[in-house]
Amino acid sequence: MYMSSYFTVFKDESKLDINYIPMRLLHREYQFNLLNKFFQFSIESPGKMAQRVLMVGKVGTGKTALAKLFGLKIMQMAQEKGVNLRYVHVNCRERRGSLFMILQQAILNFYPNFPKRGYSSEELLQMLLQVLDEQNIFVILALDEIEALVQSEGADALYKLTRVHESRLKAPQRLSLIGILRELGCLEVLDESTKSTLQRNIIFLEEYSKNELRDILNVRAVLAFRSDVVLDESLDIIAELAERENGNARYAIELLWRAGKYADASNLQEVSPECVRRASSSVYPIVQKNAIFSLGLHEKLFLLGLARQFKHAKKAYLTMGEAEDAYRIVCEEYGEKPRGHTQLWKYVNNLSAADIVETQGSGSGLRGKTTLIGLPYVPAEELDRELSRRLGLNDG
């Protein structure tokens, strides 16, 4: 039986998985080096002290990836030095914000058959230290989404964790902490002593800029896709969309993956800007159809001209002149007299304010100054189809 060959734009789509940790995190070198400095003692003089570090940043700023990469690297360094150091990563939200469940997961890393019931969180904490003593292990415990722990158990849980060595003055200090959170405000409920202990070493991760997101996307595209199938214009659109989502690299990578899936579903040989628009529309339905279809007749005609141009153009932006030319062609088709440049400029501003189109200055590379118009939020093909159908009715 003949089987038709199946082409995919992907080479290794696992490189776009949320759990994939690249061996180098772009634009996080400073924060990585800072983590190394804070925990240098754990290799040079293990057991002499314990460290507490907070990593703070919005969703998609690379906190989890940075912590896990650091954990992997420092365990490799420790092994080379003959130090029994382990990095343990626990997501507090997945553990329902329960200190008991968090400590239970940590213990299971070293004692897989540990009983799952019958102890308090205080007893579990002491048992964790006992297990570490018995196996001569030093641990960096990363508590991801630590807000869930604070919300669930208040100040007591973090107080216990930060004070755990006070009753072990002559014993090695085996447990260090990394707290990962979106903002420091959630720690206001803590007592001043605990807050001071935790906030002594803070690493802030700022939102990624558009250029930084573009760098990240370039690397992931090379790892995940066949050579030259992802158009530069597509990566430009994704970077711009992700910058609008608070510089969210996680969103950018998901968008790139979805765009690839739309390319495969349409049997395309490349990931085009239209694939990105389809992906954007499915991930976050930013543009509501009602907002588009409540526009006036000539705004719809102008938008239809844009949609038809973007359907066939493998680029992220049209110049204002190209948009006006497309609008005039549509007006001729519908027997409407075109409006002038000033009125069309008002349409562009209205569409931009409604988040239907994206505008930016032309910058370098084009003669003279003009406005560039993009359509990143809705698939051009879908917009063409719907507007054509609507404009077949009497719009008044």
- Mean pLDDT value of segment 202-208: 96
Judged by DSSP in three states, 2 sits in coil
**Residue 284 clears pLDDT 70, i.e. is over it:** no
As a whole number of Å, the end-to-end CA separation of the chain is 57
User: In whole angstroms, what is the distance from residue 395 CA to residue 383 CA?
Assistant: 17
pLDDT of 32 above 80: yes
- The pLDDT tens digits of the residues spanning 218-262 come to 999 999 999 999 999 999 999 999 999 999 999 999 999 999 999
Provide the β-strand partners of residue 88.
141
Res 289: pLDDT: 62
- Residue 43 reports pLDDT greater than 50: yes
Give mean pLDDT, residues 126-138: 94
pLDDT at site 262: 94
- At residue 314, the 3 state secondary structure works out as coil
Report, as an integer, the average pLDDT of 7-29.
94
Top-level class of domain 289-391: mainly alpha
Which tens digit of pLDDT belongs to each residue from 166-180?
A: 878 789 999 999 999
Q: Which range has the top average pLDDT, 82-91, 143-152, 293-302?
A: 82-91
Lowest-pLDDT range of 14-18, 249-253, 330-334, 366-370: 366-370
pLDDT exceeds 70 at position 5? no
Q: Which residues of 301-331 are buried (b: 16+ CB within 10 A; e: fewer)?
A: bbbbbbbbbbbebebbbbebebbbebbbebb
pLDDT of residue 362: 66
Q: What is the pLDDT of residue 381?
A: 87
Instruction: Give domain 209-283's CATH architecture.
Output: Orthogonal Bundle (1.10)
Q: What gap in Å lies between CA 69 and CA 57, rounded to an integer?
A: 17
| pLDDT cut 90: percent of the chain above it | 65
What residue ranges in the chain does DSSP mark as E strands? 52-56, 85-91, 138-144, 175-181, 202-204, 317-319, 358-361, 371-374
Question: What integer pLDDT is reported at residue 321 of this predicted model?
Answer: 93
Is 60 exceeded by the pLDDT of residue 288? no
Chain segment 49-92, per-residue pLDDT in tens: 999 999 999 999 999 999 999 999 999 999 999 999 999 999 99
- At residue 157, what is the residue type? A
Among 153-162, 318-327, 359-368, the minimum mean pLDDT is found in 359-368
**Domain map of the chain by residue range?**
28-204, 209-283, 289-391
Instruction: Give the whole-angstrom CA distance, residue 32 versus residue 67.
Output: 8
| Residue 29 clears pLDDT 90, i.e. is over it | yes
- Give me the CATH topology for the region 28-204: Rossmann fold (3.40.50)
Residues pairing with 92 in the sheet = none
**pLDDT tier at 367 (50, 70, 90 boundaries)?**
low
Over the Cα atoms of the chain, what is R_g?
A: 27
